[in-house]
Structure 1
Amino acid sequence: MSQFDKIQAREAGLHKKLTARQMSMIAIGGAIGTGLFLGSKFAISFAGPAVIVSYAIGGVIALLLMACLAEMTIAHPTSGSFGAYAEHYISPLAGFLVRYSYWSCIVLAVGTEVTAVAEYMKMWFPDVASWWWIVGFSAALIGVNAYSVKAFGSVEYWFSSVKVFAILAFILLAVIVLFGQHGISDGMKNLTAHEGFAPNGFWGIWVGVIISIFSYLSIEMIAVAAGEAENPEESVRKAFRATVYRLVIFYLLSLSLIVMLVPWTALVAKGASSPFITVMQELGIPFADGILNFIVIIAALSAMNSMLYISTRMMFSLSRAGDAPKMFGKIKANGVPMNALILSASGIAVASIVYGINPEAAFPVMISLSMFGAMLTWGMIFVTHFFFRRQIEKEGRVLSFRVPGFPVGTILGAVLMLAIMLTTYMTDVFKSTLLFGLPFTIALVGLYYVLRRKPQAPETLTQAEQEQV
């Protein structure tokens, strides 16, 4: 048994119930969220119509990441995913940092999502206290994740379907108007009017790339879900292919239509809401605010559902690696690591409470740590892939799925992620990302060496232990 076979063996016990169809929808659903519907306005304010270029660059990074993950995941499908790969191909410390930084960033991020849902619900129910929605939606999604991985996959499939249908409907309407009522010539004029295509030059485009990366975050969850797929190789292949063309359609096409239909200055004007709402109002769509509010709520609930799932699996993997208490590695008879789910849900509750008590003070810290953890994880995936391929070539192993062009794409992705992370310090908006993230990483390194003073051998739990909670 190889060393990685031992890692897969210690993470055994989860049920393989996710279908290829669910995996494909989960992959694209993770990348379509509030970052597209709401965050795109923020990117447009920096880049102007050149936001198309910003999201294209971010899309290249996302697709390079997906390619690296697909190659490693098909070779080693396991719920520990990129954390397990970093542990095996770089070092146990690298695996520890990736797993804990990713787990903490997801827990903090979902805390902001659930509070955002409560704010969106006020549009229809202004007199209902926010905590009712926070408790209600959290309980429902925790229940879904606690029931079975199949239930998670089904709910996430339908959440993602709603988002995909909404984007396709928007694109169809926008194309009809652009080539009919407005005329393509008017659309082309909007791309260069109002201080030109890139009003803030290359810097504005590059800051837009940072925002685009936040929009694409969560596509990496497909690698975690592969550990519970019925046929990991087929599922990951299909998910990778689907993501390639869907990202182009959903992001680049929709954003291109937005900046062609409405001058970018109107999209970011004071009082303007989501660019999608602004365009729908321009098109004369009745109840545009309510339609998009519903879609954004679905997007946020989808994010919550996915984040509960992947944070639970990361904590499960940490426990099985001996880097978290053994109780979080136990599995119920239905294949759910219930203790890890409870811990992740508790973290979400804490984040929600902190945010609810003092959002002005809590939000910058929570978002900064969340962004840093996510960017660190993406960067480490590229680094891990480099070590992975070097080891594979050294051993002379043949991969059933192989990304062409190595090591160019891998090195390019790592360099771009490093550049993006360093750029955050040079902006007023994202400056706190490194200020909070670096001390947090140093603290994790310290925790690793404290825990390793008393070596504990990772082990695969017996079936009796897995069912004990």
Structure 2
Amino acid sequence: MENNMEKGLKRELKTKELTMIAMGCAIGTGLFLGSGLAISTAGPGVLISYALGAFIVLLLMGCLAEMTVAHPSSGSFGLIAEKYIHPMAGYLVRYSYWVANVLAVGVEVSAIAVYMKYWFPGVPGIVWILLFGAVLIYVNATSVHTFATFEYWFSMIKISAIVGFILLGAYVLFGSSGGSKLGPENFTNDGGFLPFGFKGVWIAVFISLFSFLGTELIAVTAGEAKDPDVAVPKALKATVFRLSTFYVITLAIMLMIVPWKSAGVDKSPFVKVMEILNIPGASGIMNFIILTAALSAMNSQLYASTRMVFSLSQSKFAPAIFSRINKKGVPHTALAVSALGIIVAAVVSAVFPGTSYAFMMGISMFGAIFTWLMVFISHLFFRKVWEKSGGRKLPVRMIGFPYLTVLGAFLLVSLMVTTWFTPFKILLQFGIPWLVFLTIVYFVFHKKRVDTASQQDMVVED
């Protein structure tokens, strides 16, 4: 199905590039800036929050890996939902994932404006939003290989920085005199390990999932992978393991150095650590690294949203103009419309300069969590149909089916409902009307065409 529906993209990406693209997307402001918001929400108990978030993502990746090697395409989970649930499901998933990434681009670029204030406090954030937005649109307009090379090395910078941060933090805590205010006792100071109880931990799980947003990008890049059967499972396993390890260890060290009450989103907790350690020039270097992280994540999200629009156009759920590919193999018109997040971020940053980050994160997360939920639901349909139709033996299979698949879906639904009673209720305030709008558009413009196509497919089969 996908081979006929999605033509034109070049298969150039290798396993190491898939892994770095996914990590590049995930290791962004969710860790470097969003972690401050998570810590202020759960206190030291944020370690449990990130562990629970990692568990949900592990379940998600198990389902996604199995389905992606069966159907490697840039439409990915949207195309799978269309094939195994209903065309409308695929339509909702792809548009929701598209808007999630478009708005996530806005989240990253809003964070970039925060980081640049470290050096240029007097320059309005909108200047940096427009400047860096233009640079990354240019990068995405080149070939996918150029994009992957850019992303690979930017991800290497981030990962090296995190490893360096862990080693430095470990040395300060355990290999030197450090100081009386540094150490594991900070886990229980100022109200104990769970100052806001399990409620705070559960709310912070939602924030932690934003940190993991991007791991599913491997499934999207599968449409441009050289050997999906080998590359996709390896990349998914490596990504989940590395992210889980990095996040939990990094946050544990951070909490032992920075009192959790000092966390926030006025500046990155990583920069605060360097300021507390009083290492000459280190805070400026760390600010540069997290700026790189935000640019890298923004770059990956721009890639993902572009491929979703391309896939929608190929399925005739978006105008045909978005299927156009330039000589370098890039869907340039899809890229143009996906750059809308930069404009939205510029407007939000100008209107709500103090709260733009949390606001943009809340509305972008609906599309992401809805997409993840549909991955679990799609997997329930996929496994039964695949086995019944005698599909080939896949190199990777989700364990504990159907129980762990259902558990993953249940946890995501619970988190979505919970947000209504938190400062992140914007997720449902935006998400529910968004789904209603998409449903109306589907029945007005697409249902008749889909029904006609289905009838023609039945005639051909007969």
TM-score by length of 2: 0.91
**Equivalent-residue separation in structure 2 for 1:9 and 1:70 (angstroms):** 22
Question: Given the superposition, is the C-alpha separation of residues 199 and 116 from structure 1 closer, same or farther in structure 2, using an over 3 Å criterion?
Answer: closer
* CA displacement at 1:121 relative to structure 2: 2.2
- Equivalence for 2:456: none
**Equivalent-residue separation in structure 1 for 2:9 and 2:84 (angstroms):** 23
- Equivalence for 2:38: 43
- Residues 21-420 of structure 1 aligned to structure 2 (within 5 Å): 21-126=16-121, 128=123, 130-182=125-177, 187-267=183-263, 273-345=267-339, 347-359=340-352, 366-397=360-391, 398-420=393-415
Question: Given the superposition, is the C-alpha separation of residues 142 and 452 from structure 1 closer, same or farther in structure 2, using an over 3 Å criterion?
Answer: same
* Alignment deviations for residues 421-447 of structure 1 (CA, whole Å, 9 cap, x no partner): 0000011x1122112210111010001
* CA displacement at 1:408 relative to structure 2: 2.2
**Equivalent-residue separation in structure 1 for 2:123 and 2:186 (angstroms):** 42
> SS where residue 110 of structure 1 aligns?
helix
Q: Aligned AA for 2:419?
A: T
* CA displacement at 1:127 relative to structure 2: 5.1
Asked if 1:426 is matched to 2:421, the reply is yes
> SS where residue 452 of structure 1 aligns?
helix
**Equivalent-residue separation in structure 1 for 2:345 and 2:263 (angstroms):** 30
Question: Given the superposition, is the C-alpha separation of residues 52 and 368 from structure 1 closer, same or farther in structure 2, using an over 3 Å criterion?
Answer: closer
**Equivalent-residue separation in structure 2 for 1:426 and 1:143 (angstroms):** 41
Percent sequence identity over matched residues?
52
Contact 1:86 1:92 in 2 (8 A): yes
**Equivalent-residue separation in structure 1 for 2:357 and 2:110 (angstroms):** 11
Q: Which runs of 5+ in 1 are unaligned?
A: 1-5, 459-469
**Equivalent-residue separation in structure 2 for 1:98 and 1:24 (angstroms):** 23
Contact 1:80 1:317 in 2 (8 A): yes
Q: Aligned AA for 1:221?
A: L
**Equivalent-residue separation in structure 1 for 2:235 and 2:60 (angstroms):** 13
* Alignment deviations for residues 327-349 of structure 1 (CA, whole Å, 9 cap, x no partner): 1112223211111112212x234
Q: Aligned AA for 1:298?
A: T
Q: Which runs of 5+ in 2 are unaligned?
A: 454-462
Question: Given the superposition, is the C-alpha separation of residues 422 and 182 from structure 1 closer, same or farther in structure 2, using an over 3 Å criterion?
Answer: farther
Q: Aligned AA for 1:7?
A: E
* CA displacement at 1:364 relative to structure 2: 6.9
Cα RMSD (Å): 2.3
* Alignment deviations for residues 64-112 of structure 1 (CA, whole Å, 9 cap, x no partner): 1112111111111100001001100110010000011111121122123
Contact 1:112 1:351 in 2 (8 A): no
Contact 1:272 1:278 in 2 (8 A): no
* CA displacement at 1:236 relative to structure 2: 1.1
Question: Given the superposition, is the C-alpha separation of residues 58 and 365 from structure 1 closer, same or farther in structure 2, using an over 3 Å criterion?
Answer: closer
Bigger shift: residues 402-411 or 81-90: 402-411
**Equivalent-residue separation in structure 1 for 2:283 and 2:140 (angstroms):** 31
Asked if 1:439 is matched to 2:447, the reply is no
Question: Given the superposition, is the C-alpha separation of residues 453 and 159 from structure 1 closer, same or farther in structure 2, using an over 3 Å criterion?
Answer: same
**Equivalent-residue separation in structure 1 for 2:262 and 2:358 (angstroms):** 27
- Equivalence for 1:466: none
* CA displacement at 1:267 relative to structure 2: 4.0
**Equivalent-residue separation in structure 2 for 1:263 and 1:7 (angstroms):** 51
Bigger shift: residues 403-412 or 147-156: 403-412
1:13 to 8, 16, 41: 8
* CA displacement at 1:257 relative to structure 2: 1.4
* Alignment deviations for residues 112-163 of structure 1 (CA, whole Å, 9 cap, x no partner): 3224323422332345554443333222211221111101101111111111
* CA displacement at 1:300 relative to structure 2: 1.4
* CA displacement at 1:383 relative to structure 2: 0.9
